[in-house]
Structure 1
Amino acid sequence: MITVTRPATLDEALSGLDGTGALPRAGGTDLTACLGSGVIGSAPVVDLSGVGELRGVDWLPDGSARVGALTGVGELAGDPGLADAYPALAAVARVLATPQVRDAATLGGNLLQRNRCWYLRNPAFDCFQTGGDSCPARSGDHLYGVVVDQGPCVAPHPSSLAVALLAHDATVLVAGAGSTQPEERPVADLYDGADPARDHVLAPGRVLVSVSLPVPVRGERSSHRRATGRSRSEWPLVEAVARLDCGVDGAGPVTRAAVAVGGVARTPLRLPGVESALVGALPGRALGPEAEDALADLASLCSPLPSTGYKVDLLRATVRDVLERALGVPRS
Structure 2
Amino acid sequence: MNTTRGPVIPTVTRPTSVAGAARDLVEGGARPRAGGTDIATCVEAGVTAPGPLVDLLDVPELRGVRWADDGSARIGAMTTVAELGADPLLAGAYPGLAATARALATPQIRGTATVGGNLLQRNRCTYLRNPAFDCFQTGGDSCPARSGDHLRGVVVDQGPCAAPHPSSLAVALLAYDASVAVLERGSGAEVERDLAELYDGADPTRDHVLAPGDLLVAVALPRPVPGERAAHLRVAGRSRAEWPLVEAVVRLECAEEGRGPVTRASVAVGGVARTPLRLPGLERALVGSVPGRALDQGVERALEEVADLCSPLPATGYKVHLLQASVQSAIEQALGARNR
TM norm. shorter chain > 0.5: yes
Q: Would you say 1:23 and 2:28 are equivalent positions?
A: no
Q: Paired residues, what number?
A: 332
Could you tell me how far apart the structure 2 residues matched to 1:178 and 1:260 are?
32
Query: Displacement of 1:5 after TM fit?
Result: 0.6
CA contact (8 A) 1:218 1:248 kept: no
Per the TM alignment, residue 248 of structure 1 is displaced from its structure 2 partner at its CA by 4.1
Selected match of 2:270 from 233, 239, 262: 262
Give the Cα–Cα distance (whole angstroms) in 1 for the partners of residues 324 and 296 of structure 2.
15
Match of 1:212 among 215, 220, 229: 220
Question: Which TM-score applies when normalising by structure 2?
Answer: 0.96
Which residue number corresponds to residue 168 of structure 1? 176
Instruction: Report the Cα distance in structure 2 between the residues aligned to 1:248 and 1:63, rounded to whole angstroms.
Output: 19
1:179-258 equivalent positions in 2, closer than 5 A: 179-230=187-238, 233-258=241-266
State the Cα distance separating 1:177 from its structure 2 match: 3.7
Maintained 8 Å contact 2:106/2:242: no
One-letter amino acid of the structure 2 residue matched with residue 276 of structure 1: R
Mapped partners of 2:47, 2:240: distance in 1 = 26
Aligned counterparts of 2:133 and 2:28: Cα–Cα separation in 1? 27
The SS at the match of 2:258 is: coil
Measured after TM superposition, the shift of residue 265 of structure 1 is 0.1
The CA distance in 2 between the partners of 1:250 and 1:299, in whole Å, is 30
* Deviation readout 1:152-189 (Å, 9 max, x if unpaired): 00000000000000000100000034525311001000
| Separation (CA, whole Å) in 1 of partners of 2:114 and 2:84 | 9
Aligned to 1:60: 68
Tell me, yes or no, if structure 1 residue 128 matches structure 2 residue 131: no
TM-score by length of 1: 0.98
Query: What amino acid maps onto 1:322 in structure 2?
Result: A
Cα separation, partners in 2 of 1:85 and 1:287, compared to 1, 3 Å: same
CA RMSD of aligned residues (A): 1.2
Runs of 4+ in 1 over 4 A off after TM superposition: none
| Structure 1 gap ranges (5+) | none
CA contact (8 A) 1:238 1:262 kept: yes
Residues 81-131 of structure 1: per-residue CA shift (max 9 Å, x gap): 000000000000001111111110000000000000000010110000011
Is 1:323 the equivalent of 2:331? yes
Which string of whole-angstrom CA distances, capped at 9 and with x for unpartnered residues, describes residues 43-95 of structure 1? Answer: 10110111110111000000000000000000000000000000000000001
Q: Deviations over 1:269-328 (max 9, x none)?
A: 000000000000000111111101100001110000000000000000001000111000
**SS of 2:182's equivalent?**
strand
Q: Which runs of 5 or more structure 2 residues have no equivalent in the other structure?
A: 1-8
Question: Which shifted more, 306-315 or 223-232?
Answer: 223-232
Counterpart pick for 1:150 among 158, 161, 185: 158
One-letter identity of the residue aligned with 2:76: G
**What do the CA deviations read for 1:169-225 (whole angstroms, capped 9, x no partner)?**
100000034525311001000000000000000000001000000000111000000
Is the Cα–Cα contact under 8 Å of residues 97 and 232 in structure 1 kept in the other structure? no
